[in-house]
Amino acid sequence: MGGSNKLLLPWKNSTLIQHAVEVCMESCADEVLVVLGHHSSRIKNALWSCPVQFVENPLYEQGMLTSIQAGIRGASPESEGWIIFLSDQPGISVSLLNQLIESFLMHHHPEKDLIVLPVCGGIRRNPVLFSLSFRERLLNHQGEGAKKLVRTHENCIIEIGAEPAEMFEDVDTPDEYEILKT
C-alpha cells in the first residue's frame, strides 16, 4: 500500500497491528512474537505497552517466508508448535485461534507431524499451526510462504471448519481497507 505501513492504519480503537496482537494475547497461546521488518521502529512504538517479544527480520524484503523463519528462530525452545498469524486479517477471532490450539493439543504427539488450519468454503485459510517437527523443514524451505509445505503433507493436516468467509479477508489495497473498516 505505497510507502506507508498498512499495519499502522487505524482499526477500531487502535491500529491493525495492535488489533492483531490483542487477538493473539487474548487467545490461549503461550507466547506472542511480533516479527519486525518494514518500519520496525514504528511498529515497536505502536506496541510499546504490549507484553510481546520482538524478532527482527533483516531479510523481510525477500518475502513472508523469511518472517516465518525469523519467528521460528526467535520462539521459545520449549515451543511445541507455532501459529503463523498474518496481521492484515483483522477478522480473525480469538475463538478461531483457540480452536486451532485446542485441536493441536488434542492431536499433538512430539514425534508426529501435525498441521492445523481453518477451512472455509472448501478453501484452506490462515492462520496455520505447525508442530515442532516442522522446524527444520520450515527453516530450510524456500519460496513464498509455507503453502507448498502444507500441500506436501496432506496426511498430517487437521482442518477446522470456520465461518463466516469475511473473517479471512485481508487488507492488501486501500480499497480493501476501506471496505473492511466499515
- pLDDT tens, position by position, 121-155: 999 999 999 999 999 999 999 877 788 899 999 99
pLDDT at 75 (0 to 100):
96
Mean pLDDT of 106-111: 91
pLDDT band per the 50, 70, 90 thresholds, residue 2: low
Whether residue 173 is predicted with pLDDT greater than 90 in this model: the reply is: no
The mean-pLDDT minimum among 21-25, 79-83, 139-143 falls in: 139-143
pLDDT at 1 (0 to 100):
56
C-alpha distance from residue 150 to each of 12, 64, 125, 128, 145 (Å): 33, 15, 11, 9, 10
pLDDT band per the 50, 70, 90 thresholds, residue 179: confident
pLDDT at 31 (0 to 100):
95
Strand partners of residue 56: 36
User: Which of 105, 111, 154, 147 shows the shortest CA–CA distance to 128?
Assistant: 147
pLDDT at 162 (0 to 100):
96
pLDDT at 105 (0 to 100):
96
Mean pLDDT of 64-82: 94
C-alpha span between 162 and 119 (Å, rounded): 6
* Phi, psi (deg, nearest 5) at residue 8: -95, 5
The mean-pLDDT minimum among 5-14, 131-140, 154-163 falls in: 5-14
Q: Which domains does the chain have, with CATH numbers?
A: 6-181 (3.90.550.10)
